[in-house]
């Protein structure tokens, strides 16, 4: 069971190359700060603009540095099933603990197409698979019924739910009557998602507030709702600032303010506006993350 605070870790760049030293330092920092697990090569890691060799290298570095101290869930999704299979096989070979596979974007597959896509991945690589359901980016929304059908396959073990629909964890639990990791993909509603039976969050905010994000989930698991809510209240302005422009623009700028890496992005994403930079800075100061 994957649970707690997982970070959708950014991919640092320097002069349009992956900054390997900065990435490795980020992984070490997250482990030291208590992050429960690492998710490289997701949308927050700018996977759409990573070449295949870069994508594979980032996964390999994450596994190598983590050294089994925390789970690594490698992003391996694509809107091409063959490409997703190739990336998933590589993640398995690299030693990842699981893979995160986004619903195919742009193609707009039917529910049957979604089922066959994930079933093909399941048959091709013996590794736990977490479904990433994010209609806002991929357009298609996997139904709970399709997810329940997929959950009958032994290596389909969970979902990253970025629907922002707080009825989903209730419905998912009722449809999938087995251990199934339900991880929020929306920082702003992550605590409410947990109240609905969720087990954790794959977080953007954890890139800059890893300890606080972990503490919030720990408080909830300990039955201390008052403390969990207080931490979410403190984090909430940061959550909002991280999405004042398209992610990962704001969170990369926030990481640069903390001295973790540059705020360099790859086109078609670009540097966030001055007004957005002020929102990010203000939120970090307000949460006590930046002086």
Catalytic residue among 6, 115, 132, 253: 132
Question: Is 132 one of the catalytic residues?
Answer: yes
Task: Name the active-site residue from 3, 6, 92, 160.
Answer: 160
Straight-line distance from the first to the last Cα atom of the chain, in angstroms, rounded to the nearest whole number: 37
Assign 252 to helix, strand or coil: helix
| Parallel/antiparallel/unpaired status of strands 13-14 and 17-18 | antiparallel
234 contacts 212 by C-beta, under 8 angstroms: yes
- The Cα–Cα gap between 2 and 71 comes to 8
98 HSE (CA, 13 A, CB side): 25
In whole angstroms, give the CA distance from residue 198 to residue 147.
15
- 177 has catalytic annotation: no
| CA–CA distance, 16 with 195 (Å, rounded to integer) | 41
DSSP secondary structure of 173-217: HHH--S--EEEES-GGGHHHHHHTT--EEEESGGGT-HHHHHHHH
The DSSP string of 225-236 is HHHHHHHHHHHH
**C-alpha–C-alpha distance, residues 256 and 275, integer Å:** 16
Catalytic residue numbers, as ranges: 132, 160
């Amino acid at each position: 069971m994957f649970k707690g605070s997982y970070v959708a870790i950014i991919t640092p760049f320097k002069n349009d190359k992956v900054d390997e030293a900065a990435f490795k330092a980020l992984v070490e920092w997250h482990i030291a700060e208590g992050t429960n697990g690492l998710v490289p090569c997701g949308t927050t890691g700018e996977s759409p603009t990573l070449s295949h060799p870069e994508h594979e290298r980032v996964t390999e570095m994450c596994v190598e540095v983590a050294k089994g101290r925390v789970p690594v869930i490698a992003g391996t999704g694509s809107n091409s099933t063959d490409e997703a299979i190739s990336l998933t096989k590589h993640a398995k070979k690299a030693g990842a603990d699981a893979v995160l596979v986004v619903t195919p974007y742009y193609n707009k597959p039917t529910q049957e197409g979604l089922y066959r896509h994930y079933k093909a991945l399941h048959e091709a690589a013996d590794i736990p698979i977490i479904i990433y359901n994010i209609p806002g980016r991929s357009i298609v929304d996997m139904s709970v019924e399709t997810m329940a059908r997929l959950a009958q396959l032994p290596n389909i073990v969970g979902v990253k739910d970025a629907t922002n629909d707080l009825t989903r964890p209730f419905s998912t639990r009722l449809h999938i009557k087995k251990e199934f990791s339900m991880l929020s993909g929306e920082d702003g509603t992550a605590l409410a998602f947990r109240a609905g039976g969720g087990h954790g969050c794959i977080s953007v905010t954890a890139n800059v507030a890893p300890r606080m994000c972990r503490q919030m989930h720990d408080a909830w698991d300990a039955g201390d709702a008052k403390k969990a809510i207080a931490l979410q209240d403190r984090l909430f302005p940061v959550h909002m600032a991280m999405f004042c422009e398209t992610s990962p623009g704001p969170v990369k700028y926030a990481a640069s303010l903390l001295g973790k890496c540059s705020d360099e992005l790859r086109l078609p994403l670009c540097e966030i506006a001055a007004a957005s930079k002020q929102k990010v800075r203000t939120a970090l100061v307000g949460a006590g993350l930046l002086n």
